[in-house]
Amino acid sequence: MATEIQDLLITLLDAPGPSGHETRATTVWREAAAKFADRVWTDIHGNAFAEINPEGSPTVMMAGHADEIGLMVNHIDDDGYVWVVGVGGWDAQVLVGQRIDLLTAGGTVAGVVGRRAIHMIRGDDGEKAVKLKDLWVDIGASSGEEARSRVEIGDVGVIRSDTIELGEGLLAARSIDNRVGAAVVLDALRRAAGRGSAAHVVACATVQEEIGYLAAGGARTGAYGLDPDVGIVVDVTHATDHPTVEKKEHGDVRLGKGPVLARGAALNRQVVAGLKASAEDEGIAIQLQAMPAMTGTDADAVRMSRAGVPVALVSVPNRYMHSPNQIVSIADVDATAELIGAWLAGLDDGADFHD
Ligand SMILES: [Zn+2]
């Protein structure tokens, strides 16, 4: 992978951006895009766009959501403890004992997720799964009044963490779902700019996927506003190459084995076939994934925009989704951008995707 995109990816991964508060992440993205795109802009919801070849055809929308799951301050009690609700889907088990950065009007407020010590956990309580409603964030305040002076209801937060490299070419980070997709669409745009494309190519870092990819996410209005002829959505998907996952149920997806191409009713056959052909031409290994109905990603929103948009979903394998340490392979990230860049370069002028 070019160090350029790797450095961008790590900067993007470390920028906090829970759904509805993606500006820090999309600012990094827009600054990187401005170095080569013909135009960079945002819409009213905060989706960020970058385009090349505006006179070209078809118009391709490549979307990767820039938000991540987070926490929102729900209640501050009179002892100064902060109670939170999830922004997006949490497994509360992974929050226990974590450090939290709360993003407030006055700056970042550090907190820790508290929990009764093992010595005070009696009987069956030790066996029970922790629920989010039973966890509190301790910001070190000595009273409710002090806590309320530092943190406000509705402030959001993320787990404090920084990206680390694991083994040979793996990255572990909190926000891999889906800062990786936002980085890939931008890198695919850069590659298309370098290789040339007949298409008008627009990369989009979408917002609010984690709180409603179909009904409320930014991809819906982003696609409506852009009115693309075809969409490529890049997200992460579950790698199943670790213990305790049943492959018969969840498929066999592995880190380092390349981008994952989804097949199913929501995915346009011609676009999928075109991506497969590009992979073959370029010698890029891909993995396949069955999606008989909805995809559970921005692809559903882009597909259902206006009178319908043909879409494909290209995913980067990700271990430990929605945990503080999600893991991707840098080679997979790179190959995903390369695959889409190759497909864009090979698109015919005015390409049409009707059967
Ligand atoms: Zn997610």
**CA of 143 relative to ligand 1 center, distance in Å:** 35
If we measure between CA atoms, which residue out of 161, 185, 188 comes closest to residue 175? 161
Residue 3: its pLDDT value, please? 62
Sign for the pseudo-dihedral over CA of 158, 162, 163, 164: negative
Query: d(Cα 343, Cα 355) in Å, to the nearest integer?
Result: 19
Residue 92: its pLDDT value, please? 94
**CA of 241 relative to ligand 1 center, distance in Å:** 19
3-state DSSP assignment of residue 221: helix
**CA of 13 relative to ligand 1 center, distance in Å:** 14
Residue 124: its pLDDT value, please? 76
**CA of 316 relative to ligand 1 center, distance in Å:** 12
**CA of 212 relative to ligand 1 center, distance in Å:** 10
**CA of 123 relative to ligand 1 center, distance in Å:** 34
Per-residue exposure over 8-46, b if at least 16 CB sit within 10 Å of its own CB, e if not: bbbbbbbbbbbbbbbbebbebbbebbeeebeebebbebb
pTM of the model: 0.96
**CA of 321 relative to ligand 1 center, distance in Å:** 7
**CA of 17 relative to ligand 1 center, distance in Å:** 13
**CA of 27 relative to ligand 1 center, distance in Å:** 21
In order along its 355 residues, the chain shows pLDDT tens digits of 456 678 889 999 999 999 999 999 999 999 999 999 999 999 999 999 999 999 999 999 999 999 999 999 999 999 999 999 999 999 999 999 999 999 999 999 999 999 888 888 887 777 888 999 999 999 999 999 999 999 999 999 999 999 999 998 999 999 999 999 999 999 999 999 999 999 999 999 999 999 986 776 899 999 999 999 999 999 999 999 999 999 999 999 999 999 999 999 999 999 999 999 999 999 999 999 999 999 999 999 999 999 999 999 999 999 999 999 999 999 999 999 999 999 999 999 999 998 7
**CA of 319 relative to ligand 1 center, distance in Å:** 12
* Residues annotated as part of the active site: 209
